[in-house]
Every structure is written in C-alpha cells, then in structure tokens.
C-alpha cells in the first residue's frame, strides 16, 4: 500500500506508521502529499499531522485547493493560522474570495476571508469582482452580504459587462434580476460589443421561465430594438436559441423582423440554425407570415438554405419544408457554394438527402469559385457513402481546388482532404476508383504529408505501400517565407515514434533538412518526445546540427521542451554546450525563457555561464524576468551569482524587463533587492513606460512604481510619448489613467504627431464619463488638431461613440472641421461605422451633408464603403439633400462608386429610381457594367444593368469589354450570362480568348451542356478572325471541341476551315492535337482521315506519354514486360525497332519516358524529341508545365515591363514572347542578324526580371535561335 492509498483511507493511525517514510521526503514532495490530502477532504487531524512533518507553510496553492474543495471553515482557519498565504492569487488573478464565491462556499467562509482583509473589489485578469462569481451561482445570501460589505455593484468587466449581464448569461434568475435592478444596475448597459442584457438573455438556452423574465425586462424599459456593434438584435439570437412563443412575443412588442446585421443576416438566417427542428420550422413559418423574404440573401449571397444545410440534423425534412416555402434550391453564395456543398460539410448528410436534392433540381456538378466540387467537401467529412455516391455520379475524383489566399492558391484534390481526416476507408475507395496517389498539392505536399500532419499510422502505411514518394518535399508559404519540409519532418514534429520508425525503415532520408536547415531532431526536440529523440540520435542524427539561425537541437530542447530528461540525454550524447545562436544566445538563455527550475539547476551544474550576454547584452536573468513567471527561478539565479544590475545595450535593466511582463512578485523582489526603479533606457523609457505598454497591467504595479519615485512625466525620445499616453495607447483601465493624473501626469502632453490624451481616449473608445473627466480635469482644447488635422470629434466619429459625440458637440466641437484631405467628421461617420444615429446627430448639429474631400467625395460616397445600415443611411442622406449627381475627382458617378463598393442590387435600383443615369460613363468610357464585372457583383445586378439597356459589348479606352474583364477576373457565372446575351467573343484580344479557352479546357470553368454548345456555336458560326492570322491559333477552338462536344456539324466546319489552309500548317495543327490530346482518339482519327494525313512518329510517342493513363499501362509490370509492351507499341504505330536501339537501348528509353512522365522538364523532353525544328513539341510542354499555369497571371499592364517592337509585334510578358516565337510565322532565316540579337537580349532580360531557373523554356528558345 503506497502513501496515496493511505491518505484516501483517511485513517490517522495508519498514516503514523509511515512516519519514517514522511521524514525522508523533501518539502516539495510533502507539499504534493498535503495538497492531495486536502483534495480528498481528509480529517483535520491528518492535515495537522502532515503539516507537523514539515510542509512549507508559504506554499501558495494549498489554501486555493482547500477553498475549491470546500474543506470547511475549521480547516481553513487552521491553515491560515499556520502561515499559509491567504492573499494568494491564481494565474487569472482570482483571490480566495473569488474561489469561495465560485464554489458556493458557506457564508462563514466568505465572512472569514473578508475579515482577513481580502479586498472585496479585487478584480481578476478579466476585471471580474467577487460579485460576478457569486451571481453565476445564484446565491442570494452571499450576494446580499457582499453588497452590505461594499462590493462595487457598478463594476464592469474587461468586456464592459455589468453584473446583470452575467446573471442573464449564466442563470437568468428572475429574483436576482429584480434585486439588481432595484439596486440601480443599468438595464440598458452595453458591453464592448454593444450587447445589452436582452441579447445575453436571448442567447441563454437554460432558462426555466423565459416569458416571465422577458415580460419583466420589457416592463422595466429594456431597449427591445438595441443592436450590437454588428447590428444584431435580440430577435436574431431568439430565433437561434429560443421557441416560437418567445419570438412571437418580441415581434408583437415591436421588434423589427427584417433587421439586418452588418453582413445582411436577418432573423430568418438565424432561425435556420436553431437545433430544435420544430422550433426552427415554426419560427421560419411565422417570419414568412410577417413578410420576411424566404430568399433573402446576406452580403455573401447566402440564403436560409445554406444555413440550414450546414446546421440542421434532419436535413430531408427541413430542406423539404424550405422548398415548399419557395426557397431557390440552386441559390449560390458569393463563392458559388450551393446547398449541396454545405450539406457535404454536415455530419448528418446522407445519400438519401443527396438524391432528394437532385430530385428537386439541385445541380450536383456545381463548382465553387475555388474550383471545389461536392466531393472535396464530402472528403473532409469522412462520409464513405456520400463519397461513393458522388464518384458514381461522375464527379472528377482528381479535380483540384484553386482557392486563392493572401500568399498562394491552394490546389488540393479529394485524396488530400481524405488523408487529413484519417479515414482509411475513404482513402482506399478513392484510390481504387482512380485517385492519383502521387498527386501533388500546389505546395508540393502529397497525401502522405497531410497524413503525417494528422498522425494517422494506418493511412501513412497504406500510402507508403501504394508507392507514394516517401521523400517528397513540400513548400508551404507563410507571411514571411516559404517553409520546405519532408514527410519525416512532419512525423518528427508530431512526436509519433511509431510513424517515425516506420518511415525511416521504409527509406525516408534522414539527412533531409527543412528550408530553415532544421533536421528531424530539431523538430522532435521542439515537440517533447523523448522516445523519438532517442531513436533519431541512435539512427545517426547529428546532435550539433545547426539551423539557419545557428540553433542546435539543444537550443530547441531548452526553449520549447522543458524536459530535464531530454536535455540530459542530448548533453550526454555530445551536444555542444558552448554553441551560440546567430544572436549570440546560449542554450541557457533559451532555457530561462520557458524551462522549469530543475532544468535550470542542471544547466548551471554543467557549467553554463549564468551571466552570458547575447548580441544586445541581454543576460539569461533578463530573459527570466521578461518571459518566465517563476519567482523561484529569479531567486535561484540571484543565489548563483546572476548580475541583477546588468544592463542591455539599450540600457534596460532587469526591472524594465520584468515590467514588460507585469509579474508583481518579480517586480517587488527586484525593487527590494535595490535595483534602480527610476532607471531610463537610451530612449528615455522608464520602468513605468514598459509597465503601461502591457495590456494586462495591474493597478498594484503602477502604484508601487509611482510610490518608488518613477518619473511619471518622462517622455520617449523621438516620439515624445509620455507615460500617460503609453497607458492610453495600451487601452489601460481608466482607474489607472485616473491614478496617474492624480499623481501629477501632465494631461497636456502631446506626441510628435500632436496627438493628446483626448485624441487617444476617443480613438480607444473610453466612455463618455471618462472623456468628460479628462476634459474637465485636463483643460484640453476640444478642437485641438493632431498631425493629420483630425480633432477628437474625427476620432470619436470613427469609433461609433454616439454619447461621446454628443458630449463633444455640447462642449463646442466643430462638426465641419476638415482633416488634411478635407474629410469632415461626417465623412468618417459614414466611412467607418455607418451608424444612422451618429450620422443624424452630426447632420442635426449642422454638419455639411455635401462637404467634399480633396477627391470630391461626399459623405454619401463614403457611406458606400461600409455595408452596415447602408440602405437606411443612403435614404436618410438623400432625404436631407445629399447631391446624388456629384462625381468624384476621377469622374465616377455615385452609381459607379456603388459598384466599386459591392453595393446590393436593391440600393442600385433605388439610386436609378432617384434619377441617376445608368448609362453614365467615366472619362475612360467605363460603364457601370464594366465596374460591376470588375467587382464581381451578384449576377442579379449584372442582369439589372443589361435589362436597363446597357451595351453588353461597350468598350473602354483600353478596349476592355465586360466579357474581357470577367475573363481576367475568372468570373464563371458572369461569363456564362454575358455569352448567353450576345457578348461578342471576337472583340476579345488574342490572349483573352486564349485564356478563356484554356480555362474551359483545364476544367477551371465547368459549363453545363447547353452552355458548351452555345459557346462552340459562337466560335464557329461567324468566322471573323482574318485569314492572315496565325492558323495555329485556331487549334484552341479544336481543343474546345474535343473537350466538350462530339458534334458532327461543328466538326465538319473545322475540317472545312482546314481545307482552306496550306497542308504544312494543317499538319502542324493536327500533330499538336494528337500530342496534346491523345485521349480523344475517335475525333483525332476522324480528322486525320478527312485531311488524308497521319501524325508523325514522334507525335505518336509524345501523345502516348502525355496520356498518363495509357503510359501507366506501358510502365506496369517488370522490366522485360515493359520492354515488350514498348516494342509492341512502336511496331503498332510503325516505328522501326532500330530507332529504339539508337536511343540508349530499351532500358534507357524506359528511364527517359519515366522521367518525362514525372517531371515534364524541357531537358528531359529533348532526350526524346531532339529535332529542334518541330517546335510544336515545346509548345505542348509549355501547356503542361507549371510555367504555363502562371503565364496569364502576369500583369500585362505592369509599367515595369517595357514594350518593344519587332517586325510589328508588341509584347509585354513572357507569355507574349513565347507566343511570338511559337505561334506566329517567325522564321529566323527571313530576319537579319541584328534583329535576332535584339530578340535574344529581350528574352534574357525577361528571364532575369522574373528570375527564371536555368533550363527554362526561355533558355530553350535562345538555344534554338543561336
């Protein structure tokens, strides 16, 4: 029986038999035993016995454990008498009184703690007093007592919540609500998010008598139409969390059932997310009866259907209900997600539901803007039945997404998603049904990378057994760089010994490094797996390998691991203890940031320099003060000779660093140790400056520093910023601001930008009472201008503070004062918040409604920059005389401006009805239709403009049409609409029509069958491209034909065109077709027969290689079988076997073909196709290369690209250079040497400009020219 079992038996006589055992234990071990005994609520006798055996009475968490476990007043008093720290706090700054109220302790304990002078108004890190904790537990006795003892009933949390908010949030007791309101708590107080108690109450799902409470709140004057900072009303929350009875009551009391949030979500959208399906359906039915539009859309074009498909459990029942109510089954969000996409993300999705949607007209093959199919979404959910259904319906299993983010376009297929979710069943099914296991994401991550991220051994094993590249390197972009990592790196980072062993046994390269030069051992040391670390070292990993910051695995272990076992092991295996990082940090520096005291003690014992300095002269002691909260560590370092007075190059001492962290114990200790509290850095920053920069600053820290004589008015050099301004900028509680002012902080201080405390207070949303205090106490000029000529009223107008604005105006703030760009406060109110109340306040107080900024924009223009309350604001401003015909400096009408601002169609219609001319053009001849396409406005808006008679083929000065803009922006649904409404394809430039064809061919666009026929018909029916144009250009039309349709009539049209062309040109086109699109053998053969031509031998070889499916068949089997298949194939297409022998033999050919298949590089390609005069081969290579994918992404209007003219040909980018060389009749024999040299020089400039690798296509062209 061990000591823990003895304690649990609660038998003092049994425990005394372990007397000698206890005597051998350290204080630390006895502390653990005592705390364990308290948790188990043992008798007072046992606790007294353990304390007598030497438990340290200064340990802080013992009393906390006693209070949390409700050990009783007698034991608590005993512990306090024995010297246990009663004023201790948790990491969240909770006192024992907080914990007692939280655990609903007996009133005797509450009284005892208050008698022991625990501050009743002490606040946690979230600024919660003990009253908040008591209200969570609905203890009226404790609440009464706390209020009697002077607890601040008006205190607010860091979120600006009152105690009444907490009551409505946690228990919603009618008795407590009545009691607090009687005590004067504000019923309409708002949080930082402008939520009232009504919002909190409507979100609370655990209410016993909701109707009684809501009736009482309304009777007492709660604002029923109060809105959050995102414009949500109580009805929004009630529809999501409450019943129909509750919703009806709010509606009957006048709440707006059509109120919109900033994103245009209405109560209907919230109702669709109510998890009680009966409540949800009843509420929706009621809202429809009240006139709510069932097809109402958010700013993201989402309807109630999208929300329901994502949130509901009984999907068939609910969606059937919505369809019966008239919802559009194929409604698309802005990114083209349909109900089917959202349903595939729902765990409750089923094949039955998918079939139901299809039966109701849902289009299963819809693709989002990010090229995501339903299969991509289903693969995230591990639903094998739904995935099977989608694959059997013909959704492309290898389709890749194209999701644009800030730094990259994410290209992933269903297999990648499935690998992330650890579903072996889904993975096996996808592979068995044609998923390419070797497919790379655009980050070069394979399915194996994703599986290793998720640590799924079964998936990893399956993928490796299927032949996936175990050493593939990924390249993942981040904000500052691109990180390259191998599969093994992910495994090491995730600390799975089973995975790491398996990968190494299967041939994973142990010498591979990340782009930061980290080895697997570095990553393992970061992730705290001793087993993995030991295994890697035994496998030969270098314990002294350095990354690009010169950090070794020992540095990583000390900074991230906090494991003495790992640190000891690495040093025992020869880790260099003297190794320095690039910034001269030792492992001891890094250990002082995060490691425990036992690690620090071990390193000191091993001889690490306790006063070592990094490149900024910072010591490990400085690191401990700023990063580590441990007072024990600080004291230990001092006891071992740490220089407490050491300063960095910036003259920062240990107290400066400690004040950055605001750890009170360390600050007190340093001050008691005699450190200079008034020391200043080279930038003249005091310790108080550093303390005020920390947003978790405690009042106590400020108090102690001020009392110790810190210069309260010291100013930062260069910026001229004082301590008070530091405090404002860090949004410190006003009690700290008030304290600093009362202690003599200069209220008239300004920064070099001429910003004063009033500017800061309005900028950081301090309350009107606090701003009033500053104005009256500081004597500040209310119209004082900052560097940008903005006054406090400008700042307040940006921050949506109505009460503050009213106060400033009452004190004489100029409502028409202009900032540097002539922006008035009304401009700002419209730009940043669009608060109708604030706008009304400014207008009613004389703000010029037609004031023009430097760019001629009025407040009405600015209103369109913010979707919040947009329609209401626009109507109000126009009703007050806003000039709707005013144009900006660039000649844009309000209608143009509304399109630029993604304005809803209803507002555009309103403006037109008010007299705006829909045919108005900018100085460069752009119509609103150009703007609408450029901004990807909803199709509804595009249709409206076309219905109003706008010319669908109108051109700007740059020859842009709505169609060309839509092609450039990749707007599939708009392109489809424009083409169906006679948009002229032949007005497009060559590169635009090529890009359009390329995107359709590459499946970036997925047009329906009718659209395919329409598009093909447009291309072939009216042949306007002139005969002198390059005939090779028309191959794109044939690509379109072969990709989408097998229409005999259109095919014959193309053949007729071919008959009109020279035979040699036709041969090149047909060769191109054969090599690039070998899949379409039936069509190819028909064309060759009609033209009485055959592809050459090389075209046949290349065609087979390009067709990966057929090439896979050739490469299956052993080497002899491969040789036979290749020989048979070559004989079949009429190639002499001697040709094979002249190419390094059959084995060499297999190798070369394999290389080409995997890499598709120019160099490998020319191994097979060495005859340089057949340039079309390289064109095929371009089409299939990464370079081609990016060709059209280059900005042709980039002013840095010079335009040169050779033989009448202009080109701006790589794309045009290559097009010029390969597509046009360029014959070097017909141009002079000087031209050739100039052309080569141009190619080299482009190569350097875009930093292309060697062996690029540009190099190949240069070689050909030479």
Q: Which of 741, 744, 689 is nearest to 715 (CA)?
A: 689
Mean pLDDT taken over the chain: 78
* C-alpha angle 676-682-685 in degrees, rounded to nearest 5: 60
Rounded CA-CA distance 794/827 in Å is 9
pLDDT in the model for residue 1195? 28
pLDDT at 333: 83
Is there a domain that residue 1208 lies in? yes
- What six digits make up the tokens of 558? 């000390």
- Residue 768 predicted with pLDDT over 90: no
pLDDT at residue 1141 is higher than 70: no
The confidence score (pLDDT) of residue 594 equals 84
**174-182 vs 210-219: helix crossing angle, rounded to 10:** 20
> Mean pLDDT across the stretch 1102-1115?
46
Burial of residue 1002 (number of CB atoms within 10 Å: 0-12, 13-18, 19+):
middle
Q: Identify which has the larger pLDDT, 47 or 1259.
A: 47
For residue 1174, with 0-12 CB atoms within 10 Å meaning exposed, 13-18 middle and 19 or more buried, which class applies? middle
- pLDDT for 1264 equals 55
Rounded CA separation 1104/1099 (Å): 9
> According to the model, what pLDDT value does residue 986 have?
61
* 118 located within any domain: no
Q: Which residues of 459-489 are buried (b: 16+ CB within 10 A; e: fewer)?
A: bbbbbbeeebbbebbbebeeeeeebbbbbbb
Cβ contact 83:58 at 8 Å:
yes
Among 411-415, 546-550, 795-799, 1089-1093, the range scoring the smallest mean pLDDT is 1089-1093
Residue 838: count other Cβ atoms within 10 Å of its Cβ: 25
pLDDT digits (tens, 9 = 90+) for 428-482: 999 988 888 888 776 778 889 888 888 888 999 999 998 898 998 887 655 444 5
pLDDT digits (tens, 9 = 90+) for 961-989: 998 888 777 677 788 788 778 787 666 65
Evaluated on CA atoms 437, 441, 443, 447, the torsion sign reads: negative
Q: Is residue 722 part of a domain?
A: no
Quick check: 295 and 303 in contact, CB under 8 A? yes
Higher pLDDT, 207 or 1063: 207
Taking alpha carbons only, the member of 556, 534, 559 closest to residue 544 is 556
Question: Does residue 298 belong to any structural domain of this protein?
Answer: no
Q: What percent of the chain has pLDDT over 70?
A: 74
Average pLDDT over residues 696-725: 85
Which range, 580-589, 825-834, 1022-1031, 1074-1083, is most confident?
580-589
More confidently predicted of 207 and 1174 = 207
The residues that bridge with 1200 in the sheet, in sequence order, are: none
- Sign of the CA dihedral 730, 733, 734, 738? negative
Strand, coil or helix: what is 483? Answer: strand
For range 795-820, the mean pLDDT: 90
Cβ count near 1022 (within 10 Å): 10
Report residue 1161: phi and psi, to 5°: -95, 160
* Lowest mean pLDDT segment, chosen from 188-202, 701-715, 915-929, 1051-1065: 1051-1065
Mean pLDDT to the nearest integer, 83-108:
86
1255 within domain boundaries = yes
What's residue 1030's pLDDT? 40
CA separation for the pair 423, 1238 (Å, rounded): 58
What is the three-state SS of 1140-1187? HHCCCHHHHHHHHHHHHHHHCCHHHHHHHCCCCCCCHHHHHHHHHCHH
Give yes or no for residue 1205 having a pLDDT over 50. no
Say yes or no to pLDDT of 1105 above 70: no
Q: Which of 54-58, 132-136, 540-544 has the lowest mean pLDDT?
A: 54-58
**Residue 1205 three-state SS:** strand
Residue given tokens 């901004």 in the structure block = 935
Residue 485, pLDDT > 50, answer yes
Helix (H) or strand (E) segment spanning residue 974: helix 972-980
Rounded to an integer, the average pLDDT of 1096-1102 is 49
Task: Identify the weakest region by mean pLDDT among 686-690, 864-868, 1116-1120, 1141-1145.
Answer: 1141-1145
The pLDDT value recorded for residue 1062 is 63
Q: Tell me the CA distances in angstroms from 357 to 243, 320, 354, 625, one per residue in order.
A: 28, 9, 5, 62
Nearest to 1101 by CA among 1152, 1063, 1064, 1142: 1152
- Condensed to tens digits (0 to 9), the pLDDT of residues 210-259 reads 888 899 999 999 999 898 878 899 999 999 998 899 999 999 999 999 99
Check residue 1247 and give its pLDDT. Answer: 56
Alpha carbons 439 and 436: distance in angstroms, whole number: 5
Band the pLDDT of 1261: cuts 50, 70, 90.
low
Each residue's pLDDT tens digit, 279-297: 999 999 999 999 999 988 8
Number of structural domains the chain divides into: 1
The pLDDT tens digits of the residues spanning 104-126 come to 888 999 999 998 888 898 888 88
Quote the pTM value.
0.66
Interior angle at CA 804, CA 798 and CA 806, nearest 5 = 105
Confidence of residue 372 (pLDDT cuts 50, 70, 90): confident
- Lowest mean pLDDT of 37-51, 515-529, 645-659, 1140-1154, name the range: 1140-1154
Average pLDDT on 1230-1237 reads 51
Please, is 917 exposed, middle or buried when counting C-beta atoms within 10 Å of its C-beta (0-12, 13-18, 19+)?
exposed
Q: Residues for the chain: how many in total?
A: 1266
- Within-domain flag for 1246: yes
239-255 core/surface letters (b: 16 or more CB in 10 A; e: else): bbbbbbebbebbbeeeb
Structure tokens at 790: 């903005």
Domain membership flag for residue 1228? yes
CB atoms within 10 A of CB 803: 14
| Confidence tier at 601 by pLDDT (50, 70, 90) | very high
* Long-range own/partner contacts, residues 1183-1188 (CB < 8 A, 24 or more apart): 1183/1076, 1184/1076, 1184/1106, 1184/1160, 1185/1160, 1185/1257, 1187/1214, 1187/1252, 1187/1256, 1187/1257
Q: Which residue has the higher pLDDT, 1104 or 311?
A: 311
- Cβ atoms of 544 and 509 within 8 Å: the answer is no
Quick check: is 651 in a domain? no
Token digits of residue 741: 């002012």
CA separation for the pair 553, 542 (Å, rounded)? 9
Task: Using alpha carbons, list the distances in angstroms from residue 1188 to 231, 1002, 1219.
Answer: 47, 12, 11
Instruction: Name 329's bridge partners.
Output: none
Strand, helix or coil for residue 403: strand
Predicted pLDDT at 1122: 55
The pLDDT of residue 658: 94
Looking at the DSSP bridge assignments, the partners of residue 1210 are 1205
In the structure, what pLDDT confidence band is assigned to residue 272 with cuts at 50, 70 and 90? Answer: very high
Per-residue pLDDT tens over the stretch 293-344: 998 888 788 899 999 988 888 888 998 899 888 888 888 887 778 888 888 8
Position 81 pLDDT exceeds 50: yes
Show the domain range for 1242.
1192-1266
pLDDT confidence bin for 1154, thresholds 50/70/90: very low
Strand partners, 1209: 1206
The answer on pLDDT for 1070 being more than 60 is no
């Amino acid at each position: 029986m061990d000591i823990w079992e003895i304690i649990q038996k609660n038998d003092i006589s049994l425990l005394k038999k372990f007397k000698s055992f206890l005597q051998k234990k350290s204080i630390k071990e006895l502390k653990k035993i005592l705390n364990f005994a308290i948790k188990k609520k043992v008798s007072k006798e046992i606790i007294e016995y353990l304390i007598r055996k030497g438990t340290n009475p200064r340990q802080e968490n013992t009393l906390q454990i006693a209070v949390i476990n409700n050990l009783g007043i007698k034991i608590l008093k005993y512990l306090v008498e024995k010297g246990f720290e009663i004023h201790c706090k948790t990491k969240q700054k909770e006192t024992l009184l907080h914990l007692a109220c939280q655990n609903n302790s007996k009133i005797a304990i509450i009284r005892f703690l208050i008698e022991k002078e625990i501050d009743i108004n002490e606040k946690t890190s979230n600024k919660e007093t003990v009253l908040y904790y008591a209200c969570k537990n609905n203890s009226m006795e404790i609440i009464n007592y706390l209020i009697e003892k002077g607890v601040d009933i008006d205190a607010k949390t860091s979120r600006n919540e009152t105690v009444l908010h907490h009551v409505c949030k946690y228990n919603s007791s009618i008795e407590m609500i009545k009691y607090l309101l009687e005590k004067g708590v504000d019923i309409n107080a708002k949080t930082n998010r402008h939520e009232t108690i009504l919002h909190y109450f409507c979100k609370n799902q655990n209410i016993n008598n909701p109707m009684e409470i809501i009736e009482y709140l309304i009777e007492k004057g709660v604002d029923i139409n109060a809105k959050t900072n995102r414009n949500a009303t109580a009805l929004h929350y009630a529809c999501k969390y409450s019943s129909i009875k509750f919703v009806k009551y709010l509606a009957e009391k006048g709440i707006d059932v059509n109120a919109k949030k900033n994103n245009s979500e209405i109560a209907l959208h919230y109702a669709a997310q109510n998890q009680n399906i009966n409540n949800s359906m009843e509420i929706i039915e009621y809202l429809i009866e009240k006139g709510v539009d069932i097809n109402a859309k958010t700013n993201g074009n989402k309807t109630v259907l999208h929300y329901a498909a994502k949130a509901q459990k009984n999907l068939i029942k609910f969606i059937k209900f919505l369809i019966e109510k008239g919802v559009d089954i194929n409604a698309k969000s802005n990114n083209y997600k349909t109900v089917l996409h959202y349903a595939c993300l729902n765990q409750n999705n089923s094949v039955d539901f998918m079939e139901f949607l299809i039966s109701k007209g849902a289009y299963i093959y819809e693709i989002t803007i990010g090229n995501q199919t339903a299969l991509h979404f289903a693969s995230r959910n591990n639903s094998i039945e739904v995935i099977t259904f989608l694959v059997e319906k013909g959704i492309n299993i290898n389709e890749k997404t194209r999701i644009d983010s800030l730094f990259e376009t994410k290209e992933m297929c269903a297999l990648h998603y499935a690998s992330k979710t650890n579903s072996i069943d889904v993975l096996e099914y996808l592979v068995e049904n044609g998923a390419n296991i070797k497919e790379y994401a655009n980050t070069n991550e394979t399915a194996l990378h994703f599986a290793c991220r998720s640590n799924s051994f079964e998936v990893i094993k399956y993928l490796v057994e299927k032949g996936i590249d175990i050493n593939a390197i990924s390249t993942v972009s981040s904000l500052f760089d691109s990180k390259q990592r191998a599969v093994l790196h992910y495994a090491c980072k995730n600390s799975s010994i089973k995975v790491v062993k398996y990968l190494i046994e299967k041939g994973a390269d142990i010498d591979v490094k990340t782009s930061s030069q980290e080895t697997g051992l570095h990553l393992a040391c970061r992730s705290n797996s001793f087993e993995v670390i030991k295994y890697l070292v035994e496998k030969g990993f270098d314990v002294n390998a350095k990354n690009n910051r010169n950090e070794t695995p020992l540095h990583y272990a000390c900074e991230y691991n906090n494991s003495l076992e790992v640190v000891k092991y690495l040093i025992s295996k020869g880790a260099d203890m003297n190794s320095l990082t690039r910034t001269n940090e030792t492992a001891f520096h890094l250990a002082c940031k995060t490691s425990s005291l036992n690690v620090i003690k071990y390193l000191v014992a091993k001889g690490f320099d306790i006063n070592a300095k990094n490149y900024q002269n910072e010591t490990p002691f400085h690191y401990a003060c700023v990063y580590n909260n441990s007072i024990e560590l600080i004291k230990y370092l001092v006891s071992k000779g740490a220089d407490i007075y050491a300063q960095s190059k910036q003259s920062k001492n240990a107290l400066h660093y400690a004040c950055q962290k605001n750890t009170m114990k360390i600050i007190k200790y340093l001050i008691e140790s005699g450190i200079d509290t008034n020391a200043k850095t080279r930038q003249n920053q005091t310790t108080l400056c550093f303390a005020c920069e920390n947003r978790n600053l405690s009042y106590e820290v400020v108090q102690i520093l001020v009392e110790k004589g810190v210069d309260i008015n010291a100013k930062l050099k260069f910026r001229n910023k004082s301590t008070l301004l530091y405090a404002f900028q860090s949004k410190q509680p006003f009690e700290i601001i008030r304290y600093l002012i009362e202690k003599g902080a200069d209220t008239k201080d300004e920064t070099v930008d001429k910003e004063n405390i009033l500017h800061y207070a309005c900028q950081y949303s301090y309350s009107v009472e606090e701003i009033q205090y500053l104005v009256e106490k500081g004597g500040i000029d209310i119209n004082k201008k900052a560097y940008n000529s903005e006054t406090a009223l400008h700042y307040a107008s940006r921050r949506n503070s109505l009460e503050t604005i009213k106060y400033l105006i009452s004190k004489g703030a100029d409502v028409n004062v202009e900032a540097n760009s002539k922006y008035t406060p009304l401009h700002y109110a419209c730009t940043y918040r669009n608060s109708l109340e604030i706008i009304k306040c400014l207008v009613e107080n004389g703000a010029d409604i037609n004031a023009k900024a430097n760019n001629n924009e009025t407040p009405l223009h600015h209103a369109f920059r913010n979707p919040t309350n947009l329609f209401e604001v626009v109507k109000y401003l126009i009703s007050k005389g806003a000039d709707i015909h005013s144009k900006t400096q660039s000649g844009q009408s309000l209608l143009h401006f509304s399109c630029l601002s993604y304005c809803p169609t209803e507002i555009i219609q309103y403006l037109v009805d008010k007299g705006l001319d829909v045919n108005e053009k900018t100085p460069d001849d752009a119509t609103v239709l150009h703007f609408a396409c450029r901004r990807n406005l909803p199709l509804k808006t595009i249709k409206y403009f076309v219905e109003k008679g706008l010319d669908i083929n109108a051109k700007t000065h740059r020859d842009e049409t709505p169609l060309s803009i839509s092609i450039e922006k990749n707007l599939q649904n708009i392109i489809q609409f424009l083409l169906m409404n006679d948009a002229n394809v032949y007005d497009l430039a060559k590169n635009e029509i090529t890009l359009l064809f390329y995107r359709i061919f590459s499946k970036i666009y997925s047009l329906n069958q009718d659209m395919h026929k329409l598009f093909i018909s447009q291309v072939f029916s009216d042949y306007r491209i002139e005969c002198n144009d390059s005939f090779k250009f028309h191959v794109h039309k044939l690509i379109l034909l072969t990709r989408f349709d097998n229409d005999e009539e259109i095919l014959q049209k193309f053949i007729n065109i071919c008959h009109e062309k020279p035979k040699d040109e036709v041969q090149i086109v047909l060769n191109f077709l054969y090599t690039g699109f070998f899949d379409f053998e039936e069509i190819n053969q028909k064309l060759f027969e009609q033209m009485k031509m055959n592809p050459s031998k090389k075209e046949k070889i290349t065609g087979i290689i390009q067709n990966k499916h057929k090439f896979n068949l050739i490469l299956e089997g052993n080497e002899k079988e491969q040789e036979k298949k290749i020989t048979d194939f070559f004989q079949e297409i009429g190639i002499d076997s001697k040709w094979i022998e002249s190419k390094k033999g059959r084995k060499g050919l297999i190798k070369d073909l394999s290389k080409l298949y995997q890499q598709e590089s120019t160099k490998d390609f020319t191994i097979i196709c060495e005859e340089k005069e057949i340039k079309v081969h390289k064109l095929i290579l371009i089409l299939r290369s990464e370079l081609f994918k990016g060709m059209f992404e280059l900005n042709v209007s980039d002013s840095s690209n010079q335009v040169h003219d050779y033989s009448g040909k202009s080109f701006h980018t790589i794309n045009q250079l290559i097009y010029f060389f390969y597509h046009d009749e360029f014959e070097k024999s017909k141009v002079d040497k000087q031209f050739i040299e100039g052309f080569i020089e141009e190619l080299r400039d482009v190569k350097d400009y875009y930093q292309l690798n060697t062996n690029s296509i540009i190099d190949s062209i240069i070689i050909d020219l030479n």
